[in-house]
Amino acid sequence: MGVKALLTRKKRSRGQAVVELAIVFPFFLLIIVGGLVDFGFSIYNYLTLQQIVSDTASWGAENKKSDAEITEYANKLKPTWWKGEYKIHKLERLELPETKGNVIKLTITYETPMMTPFYQILLDAARKKTSILIAAMAVSKESEFLR
């Protein structure tokens, strides 16, 4: 065979791309689907937390409850399957001078864990935690008719 024939000779590479795709595709699928699952759980947990904060602030304001009762009520509303850190950060009572009323301002945080191992490893390497901190706040005005 001459040099020209060696340089112009085509390799048999039909099917090589399909084999490479078959090897790599499951990893891409795991990353994409895992991200969707983790993102979906995080959004669901955020909406649940926002509902807990809103219900607790409304209940405390309407019934003129003490801080301890409001904290106990918020802890009762926490879903039993939540395993992350659930913390009531701020429970403030603020006076509204113009309307002569009071409001309750409540902030709760929750560490929502990642479900897929890939994202757990990724977060652990980046932040030394395998969870994402979510926070929700609600403000509710105390009822006037109870005075």
- Domains of the chain: which residue ranges? 17-141
Q: Concatenated DSSP letters for 90-139?
A: EEEEEEETTTTEEEEEEEEEEEEEP-SHHHHHHHHHHHS-SEEEEEEEEE
Read off the pTM: 0.76
Residue 105 in contact with residue 57, Cβ under 8 Å? yes
61-113 tens-digit pLDDT: 888 888 899 999 999 999 998 887 889 988 888 888 877 788 889 999 999 88
Reported as a single tens digit per residue, the pLDDT across 22-70 is: 999 998 888 888 889 989 999 999 999 999 999 999 999 888 888 899 9
HSE toward the beta carbon, residue 74, CA cutoff 13 A:
31
- CA 65 vs CA 56, 77, 140: distances in Å: 10, 16, 13
